Structure 1
């Protein structure tokens, strides 16, 4: 397997742009994940794996967290998300998805769901 699949240089500017233009939900979740606050696990935001940029990545757990807005509600994007998830999971990662509304209305529940993944891995 290609060891140079993380944070490829050609995606650096795009990753930075995504970090600087995070949605309110992404900012809110990041505030709860940063600085190893959640069960001592380190997360990275806007981390690239292969040709894909994931919202949040926990290397020790190989856990990817995606925050989806309404742009993901159409069949073209859902198909792309499916293929993307298949690729990421083929590398022994787990991908979990939350909507912006999940984070806005139930951040505690989202964090509990993430903690469950720590136990199940």
Structure 2
């Protein structure tokens, strides 16, 4: 197994309180039927939560992120270059204002069209119903 996948597994085992709290609202397709994944590797980084089908990443930041703004900006740009929209929230907001965080996630999830599965890539309309 690649090191990044091992790292993501360890991060899932050692989730922060904020990650656990938010995950209770994202898991099991609770938001618009969208499948979210925890500690999911994308573009050489491990995203806190990701919905690959709609190219959405949710990052929860603690106090250490005040000292690593440049790194976080590079990370966001790299994810963006790979087609992902990144939403960032402070841990305190995820813990204390969970409903407010969710109220910011839901509209983005609603407006983000699903990406075609790789099986359909390059196949035109074959296998898809036209609307």
TM category (shorter chain) comes to 0.7 to 0.9
The answer for the alignment partner of 2:82 in structure 1 is: 91
Q: Give the structure-1-normalised TM-score.
A: 0.88
Between structure 1 and structure 2, the one with the greater Rg is: 2
Hey, which bits of structure 1, 4+ residues long, moved more than 4 A?
none
How far 1:51 moved relative to its partner? 1.2
Return the alpha-carbon distance in structure 1 between the equivalents of residues 54 and 43 of structure 2. 18
The answer for the alignment partner of 1:46 in structure 2 is: 39
Q: Runs of 5+ in structure 2 lacking a partner?
A: 113-131
Q: Runs of 5+ in structure 1 lacking a partner?
A: 1-7
Return the alpha-carbon distance in structure 2 between the equivalents of residues 50 and 108 of structure 1. 29
Return the alpha-carbon distance in structure 1 between the equivalents of residues 5 and 42 of structure 2. 12
Residue number among 43, 47, 50 corresponding to 1:57 in the alignment: 50
| 1:8-30 CA-partner distances (Å, limit 9, x unpaired) | 82212111110010000000001
Q: Give the structure-2-normalised TM-score.
A: 0.81
Q: Is the 8 A contact 2:57 2:85 kept in 1?
A: yes
Aligned length: 112
Return the alpha-carbon distance in structure 2 between the equivalents of residues 72 and 45 of structure 1. 19
